[in-house]
């Protein structure tokens, strides 16, 4: 064939081949977009079915993952695109860790919030108790009627709110001026209002107690997953993204955030969320937040006080730490907190007749319930087999390793940054003070609960304090094994509660003696 004819044939065939390839690419792109929209539609349908709170509510969120998982298994190009997207998100988190990028919200959502929520919602276990019962009815009453009176649920009998055998109110409710109100602080209601609003839109039967339990589970999983997302970003502020992810994993599976926060609407969930919000602002700005950051911290302080009176210790510690560096900002934070707390204060006064609300009515503020200086209880909150901090969070010992200057120097080689002045001292001093306060409480073990429930408030502080030690140790294979082993041991103390109904231990034991029994601890009780 002459050279000119060969060139003409090439010029004819190649564009045709390119056109065919472009056509296949266009068709693949169109198909991919259709599948993406279909996945989104299935995900939205799953959320609607979940908020409807009917049978299998805990499985419906997985519906949105059906097509993506199939495409990951069948399509190589989809796998490559997924890996590239994950790599880009991880790079955004590392850029943020180096103080040169915005908050890695999408990275936190994909790597932490979404998987944690799906993991927590899937087990179907609800670790609520009398303390948590009024939360969902309170939110429903606000959404439907705009008030805090829960009388409509009492009129429904046992299907509305739990009652004792004589159809009398449980201790979590109070009759005041002809109405029925919660006997506990209102802080967690703010987290449940969006969930109950969605449930109402999805036509859930909001009068049934079984639906209340399902909505409690959904809200608890959301609070826990968003809290862990905040923790991941706060830990990234200390400069080591791998250490932040490892520590987040320890908190997610091997701590009370899994059981106390993720399985029920205890007030501790709100405290964890709000203290992490305040700390993220402080760490992100290296101790020099903008006015908006100060406003957010003030609102967080008000949210803390709405959840639990003992949160005043966290507020005092946070504002003192700020005061030592900027007196003006500490005063501004307290001023914003006072303004943000004012609606709650007025509500308490109108319903309960005092500005402290149910915290004073149920007698918990009385001096007869506090007994400081007891060695047995101080030891119990740390190492008791049924409630000990280090039994259910063995990885917490790494926080004290971070106190060593050599550990922090080694961590600096792998990206760790000192952070705002005094942050480590703040975390550990508040941890110690909180342990002393809980040990002085007459019911220091926390009653019907799991693990070290009353110490859940300080777990984010301990987690942040572990970051320097984990950053230093994670690069060494032998030390990495130790961290993983601590995480596994911690997980083994919480998994029985989530999957084996081990919390029933509370019904069959004598708390006076069995709290100290290593032969009959809660995590070995399976039912």
Helix (H), strand (E) at residue 8: helix 3-51
3 state DSSP class of 137: helix
The CA-CA-CA angle for residues 95, 112, 305, to 5°, reads 100
- pLDDT at position 363: 60
Q: Please write the tens of the pLDDT for every residue from 482-517.
A: 999 999 999 999 999 999 999 999 888 876 678 898
- pLDDT at position 178: 83
Residue 161 has pLDDT above 90, yes or no: no
Which of the two residues, 223 and 11, has the higher pLDDT score? 223
Residue 371 has pLDDT above 80, yes or no: yes
From residue 5, alpha-carbon distances to 8, 14, 19, 85, 163 in Å are 5, 14, 22, 46, 94
HSE toward the beta carbon, residue 422, CA cutoff 13 A: 15
From the list 233, 251, 253, 255, the residue with the least C-alpha distance to 391 is: 255
- pLDDT at position 100: 82
As a dihedral over the C-alpha atoms of residue 286, residue 337, residue 269, residue 201, rounded to 10 degrees, the angle is -110
- pLDDT at position 219: 97
In the block, which residue shows the tokens 């298994």? 73
Gap between the Cα atoms of 322 and 345, Å rounded: 25
Gap between the Cα atoms of 134 and 136, Å rounded: 6
- pLDDT at position 32: 81
Share of the chain above pLDDT 70, in %: 90
Helix (H), strand (E) at residue 284: helix 268-284
3 state DSSP class of 175: strand
- pLDDT at position 54: 87
Q: Please write the tens of the pLDDT for every residue from 47-61.
A: 999 999 988 888 899
Q: Please write the tens of the pLDDT for every residue from 397-431.
A: 999 999 999 999 999 988 888 889 999 999 999 99
Which of the two residues, 8 and 212, has the higher pLDDT score? 212
Residue 42 has pLDDT above 60, yes or no: yes
Give the DSSP letter of residue 167: S
Instruction: Give yes or no for a contact between 190 and 314, defined as CB atoms under 8 angstroms apart.
Output: no
User: How would you classify residue 507: left for phi > 0, otherwise alpha for psi between -120 and 50, otherwise beta?
Assistant: alpha
Task: Report the 10 Å Cβ neighbour count for 93.
Answer: 23
Kindly list the domain boundaries of the chain, sorted by start residue: 15-122, 130-524
Paired tokens of 372: 């400081």
pLDDT band at 357 (very low <50, low <70, confident <90, very high): confident
- pLDDT at position 12: 47
- Cα Rg of the chain (Å, integer): 26
Task: Report the 10 Å Cβ neighbour count for 482.
Answer: 13
HSE toward the beta carbon, residue 310, CA cutoff 13 A: 24
- pLDDT at position 15: 45
Look at 86-95, 374-383, 458-467, 503-512 and tell me which has the smallest mean pLDDT: 503-512
User: How would you classify residue 416: left for phi > 0, otherwise alpha for psi between -120 and 50, otherwise beta?
Assistant: beta
- pLDDT at position 366: 66
Q: Are strands 179-182 and 173-176 parallel, antiparallel or unpaired?
A: antiparallel
Q: Looking at residues 123-135, what average pLDDT do you find? A: 87
Paired tokens of 290: 């903008």
Paired tokens of 281: 């602002």
- pLDDT at position 352: 87
Give the DSSP letter of residue 258: I
From the list 99, 112, 412, the residue with the least C-alpha distance to 236 is: 99
Residue 163 burial (C-beta neighbours within 10 Å; 0-12, 13-18, 19+): middle
Q: Looking at residues 453-471, what average pLDDT do you find? A: 97
Which of the two residues, 249 and 240, has the higher pLDDT score? 249
- pLDDT at position 509: 81
pLDDT band at 475 (very low <50, low <70, confident <90, very high): confident
3 state DSSP class of 525: coil
The distance from CA 362 to its chain's CA centroid, rounded to whole angstroms, is 28
Gap between the Cα atoms of 338 and 432, Å rounded: 27
3-state helix, strand, coil in the chain (%, to 5): 70, 0, 25
From the list 167, 179, 272, 170, the residue with the least C-alpha distance to 230 is: 272
Residue 220 has pLDDT above 80, yes or no: yes
Which phi and psi angles does 292 have, rounded to 5°?
-60, -40
Instruction: Give yes or no for a contact between 210 and 78, defined as CB atoms under 8 angstroms apart.
Output: no
In sequence order, what are the residues at sequence separation of 6 or more whose Cβ sits closer than 8 angstroms to the Cβ of residue 462?
393, 396, 399, 427, 431
Q: In the chain, count H helices and then E strands.
A: 25, 2
Residue 14 has pLDDT above 50, yes or no: no
Paired tokens of 507: 């019904």
Share of the chain above pLDDT 90, in %: 69
Q: Looking at residues 254-273, what average pLDDT do you find? A: 96
Look at 169-178, 209-218, 306-315 and tell me which has the smallest mean pLDDT: 169-178
Helix (H), strand (E) at residue 182: strand 179-182
- pLDDT at position 239: 87
Task: Report the 10 Å Cβ neighbour count for 70.
Answer: 13
pLDDT band at 361 (very low <50, low <70, confident <90, very high): low
| Mean model confidence pLDDT for the chain | 89
Gap between the Cα atoms of 78 and 27, Å rounded: 14
């Amino acid at each position: 064939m002459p050279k000119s004819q060969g060139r003409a044939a090439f010029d004819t065939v190649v564009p045709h081949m390119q056109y065919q390839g472009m056509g296949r690419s266009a068709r693949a792109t169109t198909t991919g977009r259709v599948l993406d929209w279909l996945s989104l539609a299935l995900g939205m349908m799953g959320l609607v079915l979940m908020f409807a709170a009917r049978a299998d509510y805990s499985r419906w969120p997985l519906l949105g993952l059906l097509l993506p998982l199939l495409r990951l298994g069948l399509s190589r190009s989809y796998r490559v695109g997924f890996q590239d997207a994950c790599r880009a998100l991880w790079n955004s988190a590392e850029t943020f860790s180096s103080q040169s990028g915005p908050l890695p919200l999408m990275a936190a959502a994909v790597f932490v919030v979404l998987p944690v929520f799906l993991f927590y919602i899937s087990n179907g276990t609800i670790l609520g108790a009398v303390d948590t019962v009024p939360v969902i009815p309170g939110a429903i009453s606000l959404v439907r009627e705009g008030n805090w009176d829960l009388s409509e649920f009492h009129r429904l009998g046992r299907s509305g709110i739990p009652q004792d055998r004589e159809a009398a109110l449980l201790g979590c409710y109070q009759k005041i001026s002809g109405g029925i109100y919660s006997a506990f602080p209102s802080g967690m209601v703010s987290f449940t209002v969006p969930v109950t609003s969605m449930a109402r839109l999805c036509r859930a039967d909001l009068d049934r107690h079984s639906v209340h339990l399902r909505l409690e589970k959904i809200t608890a999983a959301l609070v826990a997953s968003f809290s862990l997302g905040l923790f991941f970003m706060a830990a990234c502020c200390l400069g080591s993204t791998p250490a932040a992810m490892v520590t987040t994993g320890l908190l997610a599976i091997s701590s009370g955030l899994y059981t106390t926060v993720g399985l029920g609407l205890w007030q501790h969930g709100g405290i964890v969320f709000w203290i992490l919000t305040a700390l993220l602002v402080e760490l992100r700005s290296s101790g020099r937040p903008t006015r908006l950051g100060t406003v957010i911290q003030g609102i967080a302080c008000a949210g803390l006080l709405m959840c639990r009176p003992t949160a005043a210790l966290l507020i005092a510690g946070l504002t003192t730490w700020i005061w030592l560096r900027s007196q003006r900002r500490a005063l501004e934070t307290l001023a914003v907190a006072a303004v943000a707390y004012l609606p709650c204060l007025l509500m308490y006064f109108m319903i309960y007749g005092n500005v402290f609300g149910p915290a004073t009515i149920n007698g918990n503020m009385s001096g007869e319930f506090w007994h400081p200086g007891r060695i047995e209880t101080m030891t119990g909150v740390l190492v008791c087999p049924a409630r000990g901090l280090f039994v259910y969070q063995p990885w917490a010992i790494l926080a004290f390793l971070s106190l060593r200057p050599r550990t922090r120097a080694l961590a600096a080689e792998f990206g760790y940054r000192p952070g705002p002045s005094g942050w480590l001292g703040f975390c550990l001093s508040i941890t110690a003070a909180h342990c002393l306060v809980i040990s002085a409480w007459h019911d220091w073990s926390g009653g019907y609960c799991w693990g070290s429930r009353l110490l859940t408030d300080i777990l984010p502080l301990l987690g942040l304090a572990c970051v320097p030690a984990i950053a230093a140790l994670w690069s060494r294979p032998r030390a990495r094994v130790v961290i993983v082993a601590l995480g596994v041991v911690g997980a083994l103390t919480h998994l029985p509660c989530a999957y084996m109904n081990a919390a029933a231990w509370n019904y069959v034991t004598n708390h006076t003696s069995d709290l100290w029994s290593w032969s009959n601890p809660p995590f070995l009780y399976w039912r």
